[in-house]
Structure 1
Amino acid sequence: MYDQSILSELIPFAHVDAGATVIDIYPGNGEWTRLFSEMVGPEGRVYSFVPAEVAHFEKDPVGHIQALAKEPGRANVEAVTADLLAMPEVTQPADVAWLHLFYHDLHTALIQAKGATAAEFNRAVYERLKPGGFYVIIDHAAIVGAGTSDARSLHRIEPVSVREEVEAAGFVLEAESTALANKNDPHSIKIFDPSIKGRTDRFAYRFVKP
């Protein structure tokens, strides 16, 4: 999780309000799911969605999120899993769809193995969000001109490519944040490289469904 100074910008940026319904897509260790659970309160709902494409991972992401949903005070959390494009079938209409460091994976063979593409997934998110709902994406930035070509090798994606793909699904870019920018990132190395791990140049976009 980020330090408090960054969270103080990202939390308002996410537009997650009390009583809201949030879909935390590929929640990882569940830090954001827990935070959103506290933010939406007892009248809200958080769907912690693990794509079936990654359910086989060694750390048992589905089991981890199912255990999280059973923690005291997490009655507003529901752990769900399905093929990526079936996300609308296991969730309810949402106010916010949150995608943290996952969008680039939409351009990898692992995620596309069952037929999912970025275009199709963006349309699925559009379908599931309420009118006026927000699609928030944070990811590792690739070098200008790289497009989606570094998604598999470096786990990076050029911000402009994300914007073009999401807008093609009908969304409108409402805001962007530079809270996670790092001008010292060379953008030419894998995000797991010890010299940059945890400090990559990251972009944050908030799109809205008209």
Structure 2
Amino acid sequence: MLSRILDFARELLAEAIPAGGTAIDATAGNGHDTLFLTSCTGPAGKVYSFDIQEQALHNTAARLKEAGAAAELIQDSHENAASYIKEAAIDAAVFNLGYLPGSDKTITTTSSSTIQAIKSLLEKLRPGGRIVIVVYYGHPEGMQEKDALLPFAASLPQEEVKVLRYEFINQRNSPPFVLAVEKR
């Protein structure tokens, strides 16, 4: 059976992250991806989790504590993520674009910060590493972000990266899709 969008995103991440690896959650949200990344890296690895909202980091910290997992939580925009990473290279990064579920829908990711984050994380990505982006565009800022992100991703040099788009085209209400960037 075809994988659902979030399941497929996690499959792509799990394939790229070795035990002891380094992973980035560029949009902490409620901490689901951060916790998943810690299961991939294991206790010997490192996970950095970013969000601009204090509530998102609080939610993520609670989820990690409940599971007995740990990550470095950073209240800053993902466009600054690379400046916090101490490791020479990262194995993977994940973005869930849009807004914090159950929160203020006017606070969203933006195309400019997301594209800057992807550019800077690509520089830190090891060969074979992946950046997985779940694009939610069923709101005005999400549509603008999608409209900027797709041409940006398509313009990435094929000699350096492979870019995949995974989506279901027969679903209603602007269903999310996955963009995956794998460094050659």
Find the partner of 1:173 among 147, 162, 165.
Answer: 162
Gaps of 5+ in 2: 100-105
Structure with the bigger RCO (C-alpha within 8 Å, sep 6+) is 2
Query: How has the CA–CA distance of structure 1 residues 123 and 71 changed in structure 2, closer, same or farther, with 3 Å as cutoff?
Result: same
Q: 1:66 and 2:61 equivalent?
A: yes
1:43 aligns with: 44
1:6-48 CA deviation, whole Å, 9 max, x = no partner? Answer: 3654432223343321101112111111122122222222211
Aligned residue number for residue 81 of structure 2:
87
Spell out, residue by residue over 1:148-195, the C-alpha distance to the aligned partner (whole angstroms, 9 max, x if none): xx642xx335867423213546563343323xx2524154xxxxxxxx
1:134 shift after superposition: 0.8
Counterpart CA distance in 2 for 1:126 and 1:11 is 19
Which residue of structure 2 aligns with residue 205 of structure 1?
Answer: 179
Q: Does 1:134 align with 2:130?
A: yes
Q: What TM-score results when the alignment is normalised by the length of structure 2?
A: 0.70
Local SS of the residue matching 1:156: helix
One-letter amino acid of the counterpart of residue 91, structure 2:
D
Whichever of the two has the greater Rg, that structure is 1
Residue 18 in 1 paired to residue 25 in 2?
no
Q: Secondary structure at the match of 1:65?
A: helix
- How many matched pairs? 169
| Identical aligned residues as a percent | 24
Normalising by structure 1, we get a TM-score of 0.63
Bigger fraction of residues in helix: 2
Tell me the distance in 2 between the aligned counterparts of 1:46 and 1:173: 24
Q: Is the 8 A contact 2:98 2:109 kept in 1?
A: no
**Residue segments in structure 1 that go unaligned for 5+ positions in a row:** 143-149, 188-200
